[in-house]
């Protein structure tokens, strides 16, 4: 588990049995935190669902706050937030696949629940929002900027400012899904809708930055 930026205080189990107990606690805590939120989740409810004991839980997590931080850290670390952007491949296809990947990640029900939870608890845990941003949107955004700079250097697209172009691309990609991302009752869009939107975004981006008359 990556703990960069997170003060996660816990012992690491030394046996397979201990690791299994820890996994059950984390699984139960994750399900409850994502379903009912931090405030409404009690240690007793986590123990009831995981079948563990208070002595075991507190050996790993001295406080409920430590358990919550470990849950968010674990979920973010196990989310696929990046992909290879090959500058030697067809640029429109690479951008299309990038758009698909980012939408699938952010629109997945579990990821939407994590994002809403981080936002809801930003006053209690202000560092978690920054950690989420650094490991997710910032990292994938930097990857896109580097790729667009490579396209500019190869004169594939007429891009003056790669950072601005990346913000334009990502803005088009996610503004469309704002309601789906942030409203709990909104169902995730279909794969067909995601692919159609990726095609529209790439077409508009290409039209804005292609060489020659627009």
Tens-place pLDDT, residues 200-211? 999 999 999 998
pLDDT at 98: 96
Segment 67-93 mean pLDDT: 85
Q: Which has more pLDDT, 16 or 167?
A: 167
Residue-averaged pLDDT of the chain: 87
Sign of CA dihedral 171, 176, 181, 183: positive
Q: What is the pLDDT of residues 110-159, one digit of tens each?
A: 888 888 899 999 999 988 888 888 888 888 999 999 999 999 999 999 99
CATH superfamily of 91-209: Tetracycline Repressor, domain 2 (1.10.357.10)
Q: Give the CA diameter of the chain.
A: 70
pTM of the model: 0.81
DSSP class of 37: -
Q: In which residue are the tokens 């250097």 written?
A: 153
- Confidence category of residue 166, pLDDT binned at 50, 70, 90: very high
Instruction: Enter the tokens of residue 193.
Output: 């809708």
Segment 188-214 mean pLDDT: 91
CATH superfamily of 16-64: Homeodomain-like (1.10.10.60)
End-to-end CA distance of the chain: 48
Domain boundaries in the chain? 16-64, 91-209
């Amino acid at each position: 588990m990556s703990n960069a930026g997170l003060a996660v205080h816990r012992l690491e189990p030394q046996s397979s049995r201990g690791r299994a107990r820890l996994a059950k606690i984390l699984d139960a805590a994750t399900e409850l935190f994502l379903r009912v939120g931090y405030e409404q989740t009690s240690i007793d409810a986590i123990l009831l669902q995981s079948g563990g004991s208070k002595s075991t839980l507190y050996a790993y997590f001295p406080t409920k706050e430590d358990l919550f931080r470990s849950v968010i850290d674990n979920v973010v670390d196990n989310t696929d937030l990046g992909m290879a952007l090959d500058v030697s491949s067809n640029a429109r296809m690479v951008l299309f696949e990038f758009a698909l990947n980012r939408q699938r990640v952010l629109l997945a029900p579990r990821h939407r629940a994590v994002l809403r939870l981080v936002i809801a608890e930003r006053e209690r845990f202000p560092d978690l929002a920054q950690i989420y941003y650094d490991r997710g949107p910032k990292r994938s955004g930097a990857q896109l900027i580097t790729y667009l700079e490579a396209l500019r250097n190869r004169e594939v697209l007429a891009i003056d400012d790669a950072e601005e172009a990346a913000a334009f691309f990502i803005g088009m990609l996610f503004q469309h899904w704002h309601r789906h991302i942030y409203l709990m009752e909104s169902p995730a869009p279909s794969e067909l809708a995601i692919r159609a939107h990726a095609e529209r975004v790439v077409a508009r981006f290409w039209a804005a930055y292609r060489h020659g008359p627009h």
